[in-house]
Amino acid sequence: MLSAQSQELKEKILNKTAKVSVIGLGYVGLPLAVEIGKAGLSVIGIDVDKEKVNKINSKNSYIPDVAEEELSRLVSEKKLVATSDCKVLKKVDIVSICVPTPLRKTREPDISYIIAAVSEVSKYLHQGQLIILESTSFPGTTKDIILPELEKRDLRVGKDFFLAFSPERVDPGNKEYTIKNTPKVVGGITPECTEIAKIFYEQIVEKVVLVASTREAEMVKLLENTFRSVNIALANELALMCDRLGINIWNVIEAAATKPFGFMPFYPGPGLGGHCIPIDPVYLSWKAKTYGFYSKFIEFAEEVNKNMPSHVVRKITHALNIHKKSINGSKILILGVAYKKDVGDTRESPALDIIEILSRQEAEIIYNDPHVPQVNIGEGKWESLPLNENLLSQADCVVITTAHSSYDYKWIVGNAKVVVDTRNATKNLSNKEKIIKI
């Protein structure tokens, strides 16, 4: 049976009078805020980046997954507003924390953004408020770090306020699976925390999956991305092996994928990128070490995946050697610097590592990416150049690092001297003499 505080919040959620705040308006926070608004609840987005705040209030979307028409409608209807002032937390019923959780240079978790957000939430915490962490972090973050900070207000969790963890599952650029139709995992500090968080998410998503605790919910997210990291590492290692054996790894995977049971295809590539797969397993292995447990699979997978950009550079060297050229002084065209197709996100993108290695070897780097107008790597700065026949013919080697849907690969290969393909984007083309795959 729900307490008086949670019963009151439940009624507010069900009759759509509950006010929600989303802290962090990036690839996770803004799509979530929009989905909450579409469900009929009022949302106040909070971000320290005033440029993002101004764009939202001006009805301009800066996230590809958020349609400008939907954003504009919600802002016009006053269902969504953005601010940098955390004082608005005084008047909201539900707070969702969606801030970044990167790695430090030492490869240790950096939860400073979570701590900063929770510090602000703690200042304005009041009875009947539900706090949810969506930012990925190691098991124990919600209970061991967030809860003690919130309890400084002399309010009791599960009675006076409610605390839960629900891992974000945003896949930028995915048109099939969105926040709405992707099941939401929820775990609360107490059963009542779990129940009230479940009621909230049921207004937004089609299916809510409950787990026994915040620690289990935190582990779910890390398992999902560690699973991908390890299996991609296996595909990458097999690609290196098949390269030595003279076997086409892409054909092997395609044939293996015809088995209707016991096999799931993963594909090699130039390395891992994005805000999840290269980072989340490190959070897990770091936490495990504090308990005296060393995860060999995770650390070996990270090593394999981080070495793929160097393997790509070796392939580029081979491609240039065919034309009696060296990397030094060669003009190399990089196609795609985003970490995955059809998005503008360059976080942890292996293309940046490839560019950095080639630059150190005195190559002349040019690039095209329809979603990334410019990129900075160390002291170097590059701008995306228009992709045309002249640009392709100038390049001594073209490297496909991101397989954007807008690229015409038949035309690209037809106008290029030699192509290094890291994504199997040219699999259906006949002129294989020009194409070198990883």
Three-state DSSP string of 263-320: CCCCCCCCCCCCCCCCCHHHHHHHHHHCCCCCCHHHHHHHHHHHCHHHHHHHHHHHHH
Residue 196's pLDDT is 97
- Is residue 428 pLDDT above 70, yes or no? yes
Do residues 418 and 322 lie in contact, with contact meaning Cβ atoms separated by under 8 Å? Answer: yes
Strand partners, 187: 165
Of the residues 193, 242, 276, 397, only one is catalytic, namely 276
H helix and E strand count, the chain? 15, 15
Question: Which amino acid, one-letter code, is at 68?
Answer: E
Instruction: Work out the pLDDT band at 430, boundaries 50, 70, 90.
Output: confident
Model pTM? 0.94
- Is residue 407 pLDDT above 80, yes or no? yes
How far is it, in rounded angstroms, from Cα 167 to Cα 177?
A: 15
How far is it, in rounded angstroms, from Cα 303 to Cα 306?
A: 5
Mean pLDDT (whole number) for 250-256: 98
How far is it, in rounded angstroms, from Cα 379 to Cα 140?
A: 38
How far is it, in rounded angstroms, from Cα 372 to Cα 425?
A: 19
**Second-level CATH architecture of 238-437:** 3-Layer(aba) Sandwich (3.40)
Strand partners, 367: 334, 384
Active site residue 276: yes
pLDDT in tens, 56-93: 999 999 998 999 999 999 999 999 999 999 999 999 99
Instruction: Work out the pLDDT band at 1, boundaries 50, 70, 90.
Output: low
Residue 68, both tokens? 């400008």
- Is residue 382 pLDDT above 90, yes or no? yes
Strands 161-165 and 184-188, bridge-based pairing: antiparallel
Answer yes or no: same fold for 4-217 and 238-437.
Answer: yes
Measured CA to CA in angstroms, residue 417 lies from 389, 406, 431 at distances of 11, 21, 12
Which of 393-417 are b and which e, b meaning 16 or more Cβ less than 10 Å from the residue's Cβ? eebbbbbbbbbbeebebeebbebbb
pLDDT in tens, 352-367: 999 999 999 999 999 9
Domain boundaries, the chain: 4-217, 238-437
| Residue 258 φ then ψ, to 5° | -75, -15
How far is it, in rounded angstroms, from Cα 229 to Cα 222?
A: 10
Give the dihedral sign, CA 149/153/156/161: negative
Instruction: Work out the pLDDT band at 390, boundaries 50, 70, 90.
Output: very high
Closest alpha carbon to 316 in 258, 388, 397, 242: 397
pLDDT in tens, 198-235: 999 999 999 999 999 999 999 999 999 999 999 999 99
**Percentage of the residues of the chain whose pLDDT score is greater than 90:** 94
Residue 5's pLDDT is 83
Do residues 158 and 129 lie in contact, with contact meaning Cβ atoms separated by under 8 Å? Answer: no
Neighbours of 112 (CB within 10 A): 13
Strands 19-23 and 42-46, bridge-based pairing: parallel
Q: Considering only the C-alpha atoms of the chain, give the largest distance between any 2 of them, rounded to a whole number of Å.
A: 78
Strand partners, 165: 133, 187
**Second-level CATH architecture of 4-217:** 3-Layer(aba) Sandwich (3.40)
Do residues 438 and 235 lie in contact, with contact meaning Cβ atoms separated by under 8 Å? Answer: no
